[in-house]
């Protein structure tokens, strides 16, 4: 077993670095694949907090289904492939360190010939910092425009939370927020519920959410604090949509809910040489109810 507050590097069959595992206090753990810089596991207080489909492809053939895929520079469908290219590119590990009670890993992604030939042909740098303590997970991206032209983008952290049962899971903190319902194809709806339960296919974009959002289940809460991200996407495919996905089990919708921080309703714009940082802090707590 690896020591507390340590970093483990795992190579793939070809000998190249495949993933990084951060080990922390009380057996806390975070696993990050270089493919997409996708976090596939976060263990805190002895429990797995992220959902990873048993059908997920971990061989680089497609985006990883679960964990925290990174969406950039396009959310959803558009001129680029679904959710852009950051989640299907191999990132570079640029450093790890121990800091107090935490462990930190930093990753980097830049343009290449394929992205420069795409419909989003700009020079950029993304720096992704993952920090784990025994009860928290912080994920921060710094976006830098290295081009001679300004560019705009949307971005999101597609966090899949593992829950014991979707029937006994509540999402809070979205009351009074305006949202677009992508299932019903409506816009400018207003959330009236303090506590949201899920019993069908849900795909909503809540805009300009003001405060902390949380996911509650089994006497526990995971709070979601945002840094410069304006929006929250709430998603569960439910039974019919689950069956349409080859990398998602037919009944796995019962074990997960996506509560995704991002700025997707309006684009972020960066001038040449400008940088901007966004992210989230996830904290495991005891729920009040």
- 49 assigned to a ligand binding site: no
Asked if the model's pLDDT at residue 289 lies above 70, the reply is no
- 106 assigned to a ligand binding site: no
Judge whether 1 lies within some domain: no
Report if pTM > 0.85.
Answer: yes
Judge whether 236 lies within some domain: yes
How does pLDDT run across 116-153, given as a tens digit for each residue?
Answer: 999 999 999 999 999 999 999 999 999 999 999 999 99
Half-sphere CA count of 70, side-chain side, radius 13 A: 33
> Could you give the CA distance from residue 220 to residue 239 in angstroms, rounded to a whole number?
26
Judge whether 204 lies within some domain: yes
- 65 assigned to a ligand binding site: yes
Domain carrying residue 99: 6-286
How does pLDDT run across 25-62, given as a tens digit for each residue?
Answer: 999 999 999 999 999 999 999 999 999 999 999 999 99
**Averaged over 212-216, what is the pLDDT?**
98
The tally of domains found in the chain comes to 1
**Helix extents (H) in the chain:** 113-116, 238-244
pLDDT reported for residue 20:
98
In this structure, what CATH number is given to the domain that contains residue 232?
A: 2.70.98.10
Per-residue confidence band for 2, with pLDDT thresholds at 50, 70 and 90? low
pLDDT reported for residue 288:
66
Catalytic machinery residues: 158, 260
């Amino acid at each position: 077993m690896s020591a507390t507050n340590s970093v483990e590097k795992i190579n793939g069959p070809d000998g190249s670095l495949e993933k990084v595992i951060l080990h922390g206090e009380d057996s806390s753990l975070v696993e990050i694949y270089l493919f997409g810089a996708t976090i596939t596991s976060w263990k805190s207080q002895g429990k797995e907090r992220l959902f990873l489909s048993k059908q997920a492809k971990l061989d680089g053939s497609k985006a990883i289904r679960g964990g925290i895929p990174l969406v950039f520079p396009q959310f959803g469908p558009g001129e680029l492939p679904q959710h852009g290219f950051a989640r299907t590119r191999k990132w570079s590990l640029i450093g790890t360190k121990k800091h107090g009670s935490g462990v930190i890993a930093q990753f980097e992604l830049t343009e290449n010939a394929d992205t420069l030939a795409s419909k989003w042909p700009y020079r950029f740098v993304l720096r992704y910092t993952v920090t784990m303590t025994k009860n928290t997970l912080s994920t921060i991206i710094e976006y830098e425009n290295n081009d001679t032209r300004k560019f705009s983008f949307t971005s999101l952290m597609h966090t899949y939370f593992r829950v014991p049962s979707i029937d006994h899971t509540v999402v809070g903190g979205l009351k009074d927020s305006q949202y677009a319902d992508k299932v019903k194809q409506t816009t400018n709806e207003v959330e009236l519920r303090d506590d949201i339960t899920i019993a069908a296919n849900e795909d909503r974009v809540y805009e300009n959410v003001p405060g902390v959002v949380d996911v509650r289940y089994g006497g526990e809460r995971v709070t979601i604090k945002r840094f410069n991200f304006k929006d929250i996407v709430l998603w569960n495919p439910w039974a019919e949509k689950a069956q349409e996905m080859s990398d998602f089990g037919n009944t796995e919708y019962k074990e997960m809910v996506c509560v995704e921080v991002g700025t997707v309703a309006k684009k972020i714009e960066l001038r040449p040489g400008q940088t901007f940082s966004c992210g989230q802090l996830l904290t495991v707590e005891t729920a009040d109810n």
